Structure 1
Amino acid sequence: MSDVNELVNQYIAVWNETDPAARRAAIDRLWAEDGTYVDPLAAAEGHAAIDSVIAAAQSHFPGFVFRLSGPVDAHHHLARFGWSLAPDAAAESVVDGFDVVVLTEDGRLRDVLGFLDKVPTA
């Protein structure tokens, strides 16, 4: 996984994967064993906790689609990218944010730090 763009695309795909077994297999492949995910609404450490956060987001926004909203900017062992969440691939987003990822030496996700720029009201 030396290609950061491909890694980020796979990361976004995990957020869209609704099959629990396939999602967990992808998490196991992409994240370091002690990997973390943190955003304003959640904090997770380890594969099972990360899986639970993603499943909860899917439950809260059933059928919605995560997508990249611009290019991936990367250097050293860091990358950042914008993303959006919408009812379908062509619809206006209801949530926008950006993530910063810290990579391991072998190119897996060590830490994901999420920020929310646009969120639904009420």
Structure 2
Amino acid sequence: MRKIYFVCFLFMLNGLFAQKKDKLYPIAAYEKVWQEKNSDVRLKMIKSIWLEDSTFEDPSASIKGTTAFNNVINEFYKKFPDAVLTSGVKIVKDNYVTWEWKILDSKNNLIMAGRDFARLNGKGQISKIIGFWDNSATLSETDILKNLEADNLKVVAKYYECLFKTRDFDAMATLIEDGAIYTQATGLPYGGTFVGFAEWTKMFAKSAEFFDLQIEKEPTYFSDASKNEVIIYFTINCKSKKSGKNLSMPISEHFDLKNGKITAIRPFYYDTKQFAEFLKSKK
């Protein structure tokens, strides 16, 4: 008799576990939705667990429907393209599930944290999500931009060191995004548009045929993290290999960055025409 009761008890536990597991399925799918960065793919995933009258509310949005929810996530990734979402243990009560979550950047710095409450409809779909932000753990947009600005400045400073100090092109290559674009003034003997780091190195080698360079004044850095831009201003002193003459000239270089890598560089010479004539002149 005891054996029969024990078997029934196990059967009941398995049933409860299965019910809990079924209720967690739409939540697991919901988290995968947030991790998907392709908008079209994500919308298809949303439609599997979200209804046109399902709602999402948090301090940043209050929306209804699949497309509107997809747009919320699109806007999120515009602000935080390298965000990584993690979540804690799920607690199930009737048709409700709650859990804590965190959003980190690619360097594991905390962007924000909070707790979500989900109401399920019993058919594997979510009818409502309410998100609460933990303000004590959430970085302000100003703080986020400061962190991004610091990271961008470090990348550009490392690039500058590799190019002008150590000549370490292997280390420099790790800072450059695939397909990055370097645009030199067409009036220069090594001018043009160079796509990809392999083409950059050819341009650097070509420029070295015309002059030897020393840094006369170390760079000053300017940054706009909201646009992922860094500008540096410095002064070079060049010795022409054709004429043996020297020329001092200020230069600014404009860097575009994405996810911690350089995607484009555009140098501006104080007087490009004078610099080009200096490189071409003979003794």
Confirm whether residue 85 of structure 1 aligns to residue 103 of structure 2.
Answer: yes
Unaligned runs of 5+ in 2: 1-18, 143-283
- 1:67 corresponding residue in structure 2: 86
- 1:112 corresponding residue in structure 2: 129
- 1:101 corresponding residue in structure 2: 118
1 CA distance for matches of 2:25 and 2:82? 24
Equivalent of 1:21 in 40, 58, 71: 40
- 1:3 corresponding residue in structure 2: 22
Q: Deviations over 1:62-109 (max 9, x none)?
A: 1111111x2000111100011111113x71422101100000121210
- 2:259 corresponding residue in structure 1: none
SS in structure 2 opposite 1:82? strand
SS in structure 2 opposite 1:59? helix
CA shift in 2, pair 1:92/1:4, >3 Å = farther
Structure of greater Rg:
2
How many correspondences in the alignment? 120
Using the size of structure 2 for normalisation, the TM-score is 0.40
SS in structure 2 opposite 1:3? helix
2 CA distance for matches of 1:95 and 1:4? 26
Structure 2 counterpart of 1:75, one-letter code? K
- Does 1 or 2 have the higher relative contact order (CA < 8 Å, sep 6+)? 1
2 CA distance for matches of 1:33 and 1:4? 20
2 CA distance for matches of 1:100 and 1:62? 25
Using the size of structure 1 for normalisation, the TM-score is 0.90
Assess if the C-alpha contact under 8 Å between 1:96 and 1:116 holds in 2.
Answer: yes
Structure 1 vs Structure 2: percent identity of aligned residues? 25
Structure 1 counterpart of 2:96, one-letter code? L
**Per-residue deviation, 1:40:** 0.7
Equivalent of 1:48 in 47, 67, 73: 67
